Amino acid sequence: MGLSAHDAISKGDKGSPGLPAAVRCTTERTGGRVRSASETCATEDWCYAHARRDRVNVAVANHQFRLAARPVGLCTRDDFSYTEEPLGEPADGEILVKVLYVSLDPAMRGWMNEGRSYVPPVAIGEVMRSIDVARVLASNNPKFAVGDDVVGIFNVQEYAISNGSGVTKVDRKLAPLPVYLSVLGMPGMTAYFGLLDVCEPKEGETVVVSGAAGAVGQVVGQIARIKGCRVVGIAGGPEKCQYLLNELGFDAAIDYKAEDVRKALKEKCPDRINVYFDNVGGAILEAALSRLARGARIAICGAVSQYNNSGPMKGPSNYMALLVDRARMQGFVVFDYAGRYGEAALEMAGWMAEGKLKSSEEIVEGLETFPDTLLRLYTGEKLGKLVLKVAGE
């Protein structure tokens, strides 16, 4: 017997990017005949189908992170278990994908909590939920062809089988694949709809965004600039603030680690705040509430400062500013806009092409780093979109 699929996967196959070792035809599987280069299966689809046709036992091992315990406060390595299981075969209507990039999102911490939310919590023992860029290895679904690059909720693992629901094809010629987890992915959609639909910014208004150097915040600020607003970003540390000012064209930046945010907002928002896009909650939300302009709109996108609290969440004690300033505070969930992702992606891709909108990703290699890399979302040690690279393209 030659190389088992399991072995091939475990050892990786860095010499053949794009060709998944797991289902690469081996001489054994083709009856000893050695193909010439031109004879090599053109697509993984063919090979996978071939393998199945021949009833070759492709004992592919899949590795994943499962939720082992509900975290109290900040999540730790012990809240996850790293497991291995044989990968099944896609049934009729299903696709098998190889995960290339795992998106690390602040919302993940919320998904680990029990209780009613906008999505069901990840159950104990379940593979941790994530949005990934993946490549189709086998398809029994007419909407997808082998070799397609797709985005979907494939979770924190190497391979996934999906019925194709919520899975979208993406084009690596239009943008590097990680961008589909960033500006052209959920963070970009979140920024786009949260800012434009929920906050309705008008030209000349002052837009403040917290978590400004994060995946969503960067895009919020840039779109607000494109719309002719004055943009003030709140971020942690001089490096991030400089990035906002020098690379992304923000009008002002506030380093919440070094400055009194209330005072700084007073100084940097002389006409008060028309739009506040909140990614963090806590004291920064209160500071923004204390500086609203009349008729202000606040989008509640997240509360990353609060996700890892072991105690109760802190509500904004000055929420009556909403009354004083005739303001509204509105929550939203990007999934509700799924029907309009295409329109948003088109417009944002256009802005990217014009150089008006930048996508910035920080890519960390190795599925096995997942628990530690995830933590960086909450400790603030990253710039832009944090992406885990699981396999080579």
- Among 82-90, 120-128, 222-230, 300-308, which window interacts with its own copies (CB under 8 A)? 300-308
Q: How far is the CB of 301 from its own copies (least distance, A)?
A: 7
The pair phi, psi for residue 223, each rounded to 5°, is -65, -40
Q: For residues 161 and 169, what is the distance between their CA atoms, to the nearest angstrom?
A: 15
Query: Which of residues 8, 102, 213, 327 is near its own copies by CB under 8 A?
Result: 327
Site for its own copies in 60-79 (CB under 8 A): none
Out of 302, 341, 349, 374, which residue is the one contacting its own copies (CB under 8 A)? Answer: 302
* Residue of 324, 338, 346, 353 interacting with its own copies (CB under 8 A): 324
Three-class SS state of 138: strand
Q: Which is nearer to its own copies, 298 or 367 (CB)?
A: 298
CB of 192 to its own copies, least distance (A): 16
Smaller CB distance to its own copies: residue 42 or 324? 324
CA–CA dist 242, 5 (Å, integer): 48
Distance of closest approach, residue 306 Cβ to its own copies, in angstroms: 8
Contact between 330 and its own copies by CB under 8 A: the answer reads yes
Asked if 333 is part of the footprint of its own copies (rule: CB under 8 A), the reply reads: yes
Cβ-Cβ contacts under 8 Å for 310 (sequence gap 6 or more): 72, 73
Size of the site for its own copies (CB under 8 A): 33
Binding-site member from 242, 318, 356, 358 for its own copies (CB under 8 A): 318
Please give the residues from 232 up to 291 whose contact with its own copies meets the rule CB under 8 A: 281, 286
Cβ atoms of 9 and 61 within 8 Å: the answer is: yes
CB of 319 to its own copies, least distance (A): 5
* Distance spanning both ends of the chain, measured CA to CA: 28
Minimum distance of its own copies from residue 369's CB (angstroms): 29
At 346 the three-state DSSP class reads helix
Reduced to 3 states (helix: H, G, I; strand: E, B; else coil), residue 241 is helix
- The answer to whether residues 23 and 90 touch, using CB atoms and an 8 Å cutoff, is no
Q: Is 329 in the site for its own copies (CB under 8 A)?
A: yes
Scan residues 100-159 and list those touching its own copies (CB under 8 A): 116-118
CB-based contact 132:99 (threshold 8 Å): yes
- 60 bridge partner residues: none
Closest distance of CB 170 from its own copies, Å: 27
Write out the DSSP string of 282-321: HHHHHHHHTTEEEEEEEEE---TTTTT-SSPPPP-TTTTH
Residues 6+ apart with CB under 8 A from 268: 232, 252, 254
d(CA 330, CA 220) in angstroms, rounded, equals 16
By C-beta, is 3 or 196 nearer to its own copies?
A: 196
174 vs 313, beta carbon nearer its own copies: 313
Which residue type is seen at 303?
A
Residue with tokens 């719309």: 227
Q: By C-beta, is 100 or 321 nearer to its own copies?
A: 321
Q: How far is the CB of 288 from its own copies (least distance, A)?
A: 13
Instruction: Name which of 226 and 300 has its Cβ closer to its own copies.
Output: 300
Q: Which residues bind its own copies (CB under 8 A)?
A: 116-118, 281, 286, 300-303, 306, 312-333, 336
